[in-house]
Every structure is written in C-alpha cells, then in structure tokens.
Amino acid sequence: MKACVVGYGAMGKILCEMLGEDLALTVAPECEIKNFDNVNMDLDVIIDFSNPNNLDMIYEYSKKTRTPVVFATTGYSDEQLKKINDLAKIVPVLRSGNFSLGVIVLNKLVREATRLLEGYDIEIIEAHHNKKIDAPSGTAKMLLKSCMDATGYDAKYGRNGYCPRQKKEIGVSAVRGGTIVGEHEVMYCGVDEVVTLKHSAYSKKIFANGAIKAALWLKDQKAGSYDMEDVLFGKK
C-alpha cells in the first residue's frame, strides 16, 4: 500500500511511524511537502489527520486522481460535510468520529442499549486533553447520533443556571484537561439504577491502528461513503 498522510501533528507523526514502508509521503505544514502540487505518483489512499482547513486541497487532489480518502479529522462545518459527501460520489471515502476499534463496538452497543432501555434518561460525557479545540468530540457526536436515531430525542449541550431536565433530551458534557487521551461514557439513568457504557483510550496508537485498518480496506472499495462499522462488520 502506498499511503499519503496529511498532517504532521501528534497523530500524524504516530501514524507515519506505524505505517513504516507503507508510507509514501506526508503532506501539510512541517512535514515532507506543503501541498499536493508537486506530487507525481500513484497513491493507493490518503489518510487525513490534520484539520478542516486542508479539505479543499484534499478534495481537489482526490477528485483529480481518483484517490480514496480516510478522513480522521473532526470539526467540519455542514458545508464541508456536504463537500465530503460529494467527493464520495467519485471515490471511496471513509469518515469516522473515532478510529478506535473499541469505540466502534461501543457505538454498536449504545444503539442496542438505547433501544432496550427505553424511557431511561441518557447522558453522554466526554473528556480530552487541554489542547483539543473542538467540543463535543467527534466520538461524542457519533454516540449522540446513535442515541437520537433510536429515541428521536433532542440534544442538550451542557447545563448552566435554571435548566430542569426535560423528558425527551440527551445531555452532552465535555471536559478538557491535562493529557487525557480520550474518555467517552454513556449513562442510562433509570429508577433506582444506572447502566453505564464507557471507553477509555490510553494511547493515540489505537487510533492509528484503526486508521491503517480502514485504509487497507478502503483502497479496494468502489466509490461511496463508508464508516468504521463497514470495515469491522461489513457494508450495511
């Protein structure tokens, strides 16, 4: 596999190291080249661990060369998400709020638990390091969507002042501090009992492992929009 990594921050560096001989080049500031202008090679896949500002660059190159893209970046605007969906009509595109295999299984469990624990109050709590710039996290949004799809409830982001809990709401809280890699907890609060589903990440390597697994799978797919559940459980 000839993979291109976009971004050379903490995750980009770990991913480049783990790819080894499968790494063809890195693109974006502070790494091999700054953009795709002078890239003259056939790439099997692009893995983006940078930031939303690089989307236009990736979009244009992928569209021109028909290169599959794994989007591991979060914080996209609605307009940018539409652009990613448009790209998926031309090339294979995989986007996920989290690339931990454990989190993907957690999300599947959340959908099932939400269905079975009908009527329970649902709260989602996520915690990350103090340098994370977006909130709630992409993973929290993914878990929230699973809960909302199963219940039809609305999201309530944080609470402050007079704000009694409504029956049909899902609470979402974000914590930022220290070097927390990533923690996500979904609480189902019923009468006299609480059921909790939780995932804790202790190293960024778990996300790189998942992204590499996704890239190896995606490079052989047809044009379309995919997620990590397609990689682990097969296309729905």
Catalytic-residue membership of 129:
no
Q: Which domains does the chain have, with CATH numbers?
A: 3-95+205-233 (3.40.50.720), 101-201 (3.30.360.10)
Residues 6 or more apart in contact with residue 106 via CB below 8 angstroms: 143, 184, 186, 197, 199
Q: What is the pLDDT of residue 39?
A: 84
Q: What is the pLDDT of residue 236?
A: 62
The identity of residue 53, as a single letter, is: N
Residues 6 or more apart in contact with residue 97 via CB below 8 angstroms: 74, 137, 138, 139, 140, 141, 142
The identity of residue 30, as a single letter, is: E
Distance CA 186, CA 172 (A): 9
Catalytic-residue membership of 156:
no
Q: What is the pLDDT of residue 103?
A: 95
The identity of residue 224, as a single letter, is: G
Asked if residues 71 and 48 have their Cβ atoms less than 8 Å apart, the reply is yes
Per-residue pLDDT tens, the chain, 236 aa: give them. Answer: 999 999 998 899 999 999 999 998 889 877 767 888 888 889 999 999 998 999 999 999 999 999 999 999 888 999 999 999 999 999 999 999 889 999 999 999 999 999 999 999 999 999 999 999 889 998 999 999 999 999 999 999 999 999 999 999 999 999 999 999 999 999 999 999 999 999 999 999 999 999 999 999 999 999 999 999 999 998 76
Q: What is the pLDDT of residue 119?
A: 95
Distance CA 148, CA 146 (A): 6
Catalytic residue from among 2, 63, 108, 132: 132
